[in-house]
Amino acid sequence: MKYKFEIQGRLDALNEYTSANRQNYQAGGRMKRDNENLIIWSIRQHLKNLHIEKPVIIHYNFYEQNKKRDNDNILSCAAKFIQDSLVKAKVLQNDSQKFIHRFWFDTWTDQVNPRIEVEIYEIEREWLSYSLLEIIKLLEVGG
């Protein structure tokens, strides 16, 4: 099963989060909380009361306004904030490797509508020993 939600705009990146934490721990905590509040609102709008029991893989599509931010800078905080928010919204039981088996991302440019599209794929427990590419191939052919 595939589920999808979208976060409008962009999240703070690792450089911004690191800078906030260097100011003081409260600034970093506030930044994380603000990002998570936006994410949880988006989750509740799109996924309602979804609770996933199976392991998942997650595909992130980042649509940035331009190509100024590094991919790893974009992904680092976004993945952490989004995965923590999926647990806080009770979509996932936990964000450990037992529940989020793998994730990957793509970065695109959209000057008009920057956003993050998050696709969550439930996978079978017997697939846990498979590579990401093997799982994607199984999903493409219908498992």
Domain ranges of the chain: 2-140
Over the stretch 12-71, which tens digit does the pLDDT of each residue have?
999 999 999 999 879 999 999 999 999 999 999 999 999 999 999 999 999 999 999 999
CB of 117 closer than 8 Å to CB of 4: yes
CA distance linking residue 102 with residue 27, whole number of Å: 30
**Domain covering 2-140: architecture:** 2-Layer Sandwich (3.30)
Reported pTM:
0.93
69-81 residue pLDDT tens: 999 999 999 999 9
Find tokens 């936990």 and name the residue. 94
Q: Do 57 and 135 form a contact (C-beta atoms < 8 A)?
A: yes
- pLDDT number for residue 143: 59
The b-or-e profile of 110-121 (16+ CB within 10 A means b, else e) is eeeebbbebebb
- Cα 12 off chain centre by: 13
